[in-house]
Structure 1
Amino acid sequence: MTYSDASVWGIIAALALGTYLIRFSFLGLIGDRPLPPVVLRMLRYTPVAVLPGMVAPLVLWPAATDGQTDPVRLMAALVTFGVGYWRKNVLLAMLAGALVLSVGLSLTAPR
């Protein structure tokens, strides 16, 4: 399926306008008012929910292994979770997971 240049630019413009309107509805219309405490409490957990939601598919069904779970990535995710739970430090957990992933991938790489 091919699109003309005008169609592609029209789609890009429509998506840009939609993104702007979504952001404006939150920032422009209610940005100067204080939010209720329950909303602020829920917004505090947004990064905690988004990051695992982005990482979990890459760990459980990576494209590099044709959708099969990769033991190295799974181990790195478990180490990241364990260090984060144990130390309560996000950066330390991510560094530990990255270290396990890089060492594991270098050990399992074909020679």
Structure 2
Amino acid sequence: MIDPVALWTVIILLGLGSFGLRFVFTGLVGDRPLPAWVLRHLRYTAVAVLPGLVAPLVVWPEATGGQLDAPRLAAALVTLAAGLWTRNVVLSICLGAAALYGGLYLLG
């Protein structure tokens, strides 16, 4: 078991760190217009974060014990192709989910 004092120290420090990061953007910069170069870079935040969240689920899926499998790889390729072709995020996610569930149904 972890020491309760150490646990609460970590929880409080992480909470203060999280609050500090958010306060910098909302409290200090929130009422000022951001420079154009910052706004340009912020457009790519979702494009950078989403693959970082999804890639481990495709390459090292926990459901298969970390082994790469065809349904997840096919679903990732369908999602990527649909995104490039249609430029529609919601449609790409829906097609990728359909490919994943269809592949899992057919291949087990």
Name the TM-score class by shorter chain: over 0.9
Gaps of 5+ in 2: none
* Other-structure match for 1:104: 103
TM-score w.r.t. the length of structure 1 is 0.90
How many residues align structurally? 108
Task: Give 1:29 deviation, angstroms.
Answer: 1.2
Q: How many Å separate the matches in 2 of 1:89 and 1:15? A: 36
- Matched to 2:12, the amino acid is A
Is 1:89–2:91 an aligned residue pair? no
TM-score w.r.t. the length of structure 2 is 0.92
SS of the residue corresponding to residue 66 of structure 2 reads coil
Deviations 1:29-85 (A, max 9, x none): 111111110100100110011001110111011122232212110100000011111
Aligned-CA RMSD value: 1.2
Percent identity between matched residues is 55
Q: How many Å separate the matches in 1 of 2:105 and 2:10? A: 42
Task: Give 1:103 deviation, angstroms.
Answer: 1.2
- Matched to 1:90, the amino acid is V
Higher relative contact order (CA 8 A, sep 6+): 2
* Other-structure match for 2:21: 22
